[in-house]
A and B are shown apart, each in its own frame.
Chain A
Amino acid sequence: MTHAARNVAIVAFAQSAHRRRTDGLSEVETLMPVLHDALGHVGLTARDIDFTCSGSSDYLAGRAFSFTMALDGVGAWPPITESHVETDGAWALYEAWVKILTGAADTALVYAYGTSSAGDVRDVLTRQLDPYYLAPLWPDPVALAALQARALIDAGETDEQALAAVAARNRAAGPQGAAHRPRAAGDYVVAPLRARDCPPIGDGAAAVVLAAGDTARRLHDRPAWIRGIDHRVETHALGVRDLTDSPSTRLAATRAGAFDAPVDTAELHAPFTSQEIVLRKALRLGDGVTVNPSGGALAANPVMATGLIRLGEAAARIHRGASDRALAHATAGPCLQQNLVAVLEGETR
């Protein structure tokens, strides 16, 4: 089921400042103000929430079971109904959405956090690869994205100039005062990708509140209704995939209802400039669509929260009346292996 039988909306979104490092703070110290902020937007406390779900990965900071420590920031007593996904928080939102659709909950708190500064994220992310044929070679995410970028250039779908334009537009749109400002082209990290084509490395957290039907209407005068969500995964074998396309994104979008009517906004989780090219094609986004008004993953990339932030940013635009129908996308795995698409709508006023 991808079209909702029950109306569920994002009613609040909050995120931390995005910093290169937060080594004065524990993860719960980074996360807790964000949770309070999101709940505060709708006048709730953790005790009013029926279901709590989070996304993070212990490998990023090398802290075993860090998500249980993060729960200290929620206040999990008396015992709460809680779940965790070891991937981007966008998938935690998906789980919470399903939970609400079942009728088992009316409200949900979804959060995600990442502390990439504690380790070397280019090394850490090699550990998610096929352990037999890929992980022993330590191919890092920039290398894999560069193979994809080269394939796109060879296919005539983009060139370095077009990638530079993607970088410039996203970075210019990024949050002012954030640690990651627009930067010069930079050297090749792994050619054809230059520093400007790669996401910043940093720490951050984000949270959203979901609510069903009348509860959502009570909590927000313009809820961002989730009209559909779907996620699809492709094979882990890179050499089997067509890296210039994203059939999983297209299928998820179809099943989420993204092609049923035009969207005015798209928040795409494209950590590398070349991946925005792939996603625009898969999602058939025309020039009339505002893509990544938040600056996307190129402006701030707290790994494990970046996808959830796309959903939150799209919802926030609907909340403030800047969008009526928005698409939000999240990705996981190398070269856009797994993709989630959500369609959000505000009611006509």
Chain B
Amino acid sequence: MPEPLTAPLVVEFPFTRSLGPVQSAFLTGLRERTVLGVRTTDGQVLVPPVEYDPRTAEEIRDLVEVAATGTVTTWAWNPAPRRGQPLRTPFAWALVRLDGADTALLHALDAPGPDAVRTGMRVRVRWALERTGAITDIACFEPHDDEATEPTERAATAHASSPGVFADPVTAVTTPARLDYTYSPGRAQTRYLTALAGRRTVGERCPACRKVYVPPRGACPTCGVATDEEVEVGPRGTVTTYCVVNIKAKGLDIEVPYVYAHIALDGADLALHGRIAGIPYDRVRMGLRVEPVWTEGARYPDHYRPADEPDADYDTYKELL
């Protein structure tokens, strides 16, 4: 049994999401150093504001400005900040009810240590230096001494009589997300890939239906039982069906048109995929006999090319289509 294979796998998705009118006003407001809430029909002010009343599901659009100061309703000390979190040094996560709001907003609270944080403490927004219309326009909260405060700075663009009206409102947010994984293909595919690196193609036979699966995944999808009898197949095989690719894939250095085919290797009961070369694309046909072409140091065949033998009879591969 070879050592299980693993490989790093990064999944990244830069989601762009359009904003509803309330979200757009709130996030544009943050850009302009103004915090907006939305008033529900029963008079509660929700911050952060939502498009629909969480209790009644009514559409709510009555925006109101609230203060950039507030009170901690609960908190948690984060001694080891993680990637993407608002601060790089230890901080408190806090739910903060801003003055004028009835609900609390989650963000980071910059404080020297857990002893400096308590429920009920007064805090204020620390604005990010560069603001784009995102929740991260609030860099974090910081402790706030009401006695010593100067009048709240107010952004010039906010219009007190019609809160939420700004020039050039943001209408979408792009939230990049990256997750890092260690991919492991499992026992069966480790055996397959290890053999393939030695230029041998192995399948696995189902103990119940006797079919040989290539590449094997450890289970017979028909019978639902483990396949563990290793069977060497190929190297030659038969094209069972194919398509002509006319559009170049991003990052793929293959001239179009080319042929991508299902190839039933000799001894296999399942066709695998491979590219066909060494023959004009319009001469590839069902039944064509092919063999793998390896390049130096590769762990898998680069492509398949015609083998020097007559085409296979349709009856020999019709069950594999």
Tell me the A residues contacting B by CB distance below 8 Å: 23-29, 32, 35-36, 46, 59, 61-63, 69, 71-77, 117-120, 122-124, 126-127, 131-140, 143-144, 146-151, 154, 187-188, 190-193, 235, 237-240, 243
Q: Cα distance A71–B187 when bound, in Å?
A: 17
A237–B119 contact, CB under 8 A?
no
A123–B179 contact, CB under 8 A?
yes
B83–A23 contact, CB under 8 A?
no
B83–A191 contact, CB under 8 A?
no
Q: Cα distance A120–B103 when bound, in Å?
A: 31
A136–B82 contact, CB under 8 A?
no
Contacts of A138 in B (CB 8 A): 82-85
B224–A24 contact, CB under 8 A?
no
A26–B77 contact, CB under 8 A?
no
Question: Does B272 count as interface, using CB distance less than 8 angstroms?
Answer: no
B175–A77 contact, CB under 8 A?
no
B175–A23 contact, CB under 8 A?
no
| With A46-B224, A136-B135 as contacts: A61 and B181 at CB distance below 8 Å | yes
| With A131-B15, A132-B17, A139-B106 as contacts: A29 and B179 at CB distance below 8 Å | no
Q: Cα distance A102–B175 when bound, in Å?
A: 42
A62–B93 contact, CB under 8 A?
no
Contacts of B220 in A (CB 8 A): 72, 75
Question: What residue of chain A has the Cβ atom nearest to residue B105's Cβ?
Answer: A239
Tell me the B residues contacting A by CB distance below 8 Å: 4, 6, 9, 11, 15, 17, 19, 23, 27, 46-48, 50, 54, 73-79, 82-86, 93-95, 97, 103-108, 114, 119, 134-136, 173, 175, 177, 179-190, 217-226
Q: Cα distance A193–B114 when bound, in Å?
A: 13
A72–B183 contact, CB under 8 A?
no
B219–A29 contact, CB under 8 A?
yes
Q: Cα distance A239–B179 when bound, in Å?
A: 27
B76–A77 contact, CB under 8 A?
no
Q: Cα distance A307–B106 when bound, in Å?
A: 27
Contacts of A26 in B (CB 8 A): 184-189, 217-218
Contacts of A63 in B (CB 8 A): 183
Contacts of A32 in B (CB 8 A): 218-219, 224-226
| With A136-B175, A139-B85 as contacts: A131 and B17 at CB distance below 8 Å | yes
Contacts A/B (CB < 8 Å), 21 sampled: A25-B186, A26-B189, A29-B188, A29-B219, A63-B183, A71-B221, A119-B181, A123-B82, A123-B83, A136-B173, A137-B86, A137-B135, A138-B84, A147-B106, A150-B76, A150-B119, A190-B77, A238-B95, A239-B47, A239-B73, A239-B95
